[in-house]
Structure 1
C-alpha cells in the first residue's frame, strides 16, 4: 500500500526515533509498504518518520550507475559507529522536501550497526553513495533533515519555498501529508 509522505514542517520529522522490537505490529507489512511508497515516489531511501512514524527504521534501494549492482537494505535500530574520510559535496534532495536540492557535505565512509528485517544484527562499512544515502536516511531517525545541514543564510533563502511545501503548495506526483495545509473549503 502506498503511504502518504509527511512534508517538511511536520513535527514527526524532528523527533528522535524510538527503538523497534521484534513484536512491532505488522513490521513486515510496514517494510513492504515503505518500499512500495518509495518506489512510487522515485526515491532511493525512506525513513519511518517520513510516513509519520517516529521509530528507528529506514530502507534504501538504489543503483549508483551501470557498473554497480546496487544496494538494497532494511535498517532497524541503526547506530552510526564512525564516519571517516574527507567530506565531499553532493546535491541531495528528499521526498519530504520536494523541489528543493542542496549541496551537502558528508564523510565518504561510514560504519553502521543495525538489525535487518529478520532482526539479524549487522555491523557494516559503507563507502561512497551507499554511505551517503544511509547517512541521509539515518539523519531522519535522529530528527534531522538535509536542510539542517545548510548554512543559516541559505536556509533563510529557502524559507519561502519550505513554507510553501508545508502548506501543500508544491507540484508532486505522489501522496503527501502537509502540516500547514488549510482545511477550510474553498468558496
Structure 2
C-alpha cells in the first residue's frame, strides 16, 4: 500500500480528533487528501510529531493522533518510553513505516532490521495494531490509549503540491481549533 493511500484510509475515519502530522511529504499528503483545521502540519522538527502529540494529549481530553514515520520515531525513540510512562488514554501514535527517510531522499532506516511494533509492545503500550493491507482505524479509535499503530507502506512519495499556507497560518488555525474544543 502506498503511504498516501494509508493516510487517506486513516483520515476517512477521523472526525473531531486533533492530528499532528510528521514533516515533509506525510504532511503534504494528508493536506492533499483531507485538509482540516484539526490538523497541524509540521514543516520542520523531524522526530517531534510524537512528542508534540503527547504534550497535546496530556493537556486536554480530546483524542490526539500523531502521524509519524519510521525514520522520525527512530530519531526520537525516547518518546516511546515517555508516552508509556505518561499513559495518556487519549493518545494514538500512528507510524507509517516505509523503511526509509522518505522526505530526505529515501535512505534506508533501521526498520529493515528492527520491528517497531515489537519495540512498542516491549515498552508496554496498552494496545498495539499492525496493518499492511486494509486499515480498520475505527477499532483503533475505540481502543484505550496510549495506542501504537504500525502501518507498513511502500517507499515513495505521492506527487502532491506543497501546503499553500504559511507556518504561522497553520499554527494559528490549529490553535483556534484547540481553543474551540476546550
Shorter-chain TM range is under 0.3
Work out which of the two has the higher radius of gyration on C-alpha atoms and give 1 or 2: 1
Give the structure with the higher percent helix: 2
Please give the TM-score of this superposition, normalised by the length of structure 1. Answer: 0.27
